Amino acid sequence: MLFFSFHCASAPLRRSDLVAGYSRVGSVQMIVGLGNPGPRFAANRHNIGFQCLELLARRHAIALDKMQNKAMVGQGWVRAGGRHAKVLLVKPLTYMNLVGESVAPLARFYQVEPAQILVIHDDLDLESGRLRLRPGGSSGGQNGIKSLIERLGSQEFARARVGIGRPPGRMDPAAYVLQDFNADEEAIFGPLRARVADAAEMWLLDGMDIAM
């Protein structure tokens, strides 16, 4: 785990700028994975955001081990191709429809603008197994995104939409998203999680235009 405490002569670091070794000073981007907390939800379709965030954290040895403002957070560096970017990974522990209550205060504390945030989430209206990046826009009915827009006061944050498709027949969508991926789906979503992590790295290092 890497921690950061940067300072310069013109702007000395203040004690208020640190939380257990985490620095608010300097440019940092935020990646948020959406899901519901607790082991009973861990493998659900609705938790694909958590699953992708955890994979990204493992790749770069960033421990999501700091509890702050109703979220597990980890700060570190993403490195690829000789380049690097500082990132704050955020796993909100509120339920999906309340994630803005966790993320918005964290963004203010770490001085992260909406345009410096990428949110990874499931999307019922996107074909299962598809990944789509977008730089902003409406919630599209996704409750977590709706909460973020309300609390951030902006739609201008990036999203990585991970398609889980519509439920079969007349199945209630609320029940469908809370089911675990079946074996056939897992054969698709295992590699897809890696693609989402790749896209998040590209967003950090190259920006949304290149990542898209």
Q: In what order do the strands lie in the sheet with 117-123?
A: 66-67, 71-80, 83-92, 29-33, 117-123, 158-163, 131-134
Place of tokens 């599209």: 140
Catalytic choice (7, 46, 60, 121): 46
- Burial (CB count within 10 angstroms: exposed 0-12, middle 13-18, buried 19+), residue 84: middle
Q: Which residues contact 131 (CB under 8 A, 6 or more apart)?
A: 160, 161, 162, 163, 192, 195, 196, 199
Whether 46 is catalytic is yes
Active-site positions read 46
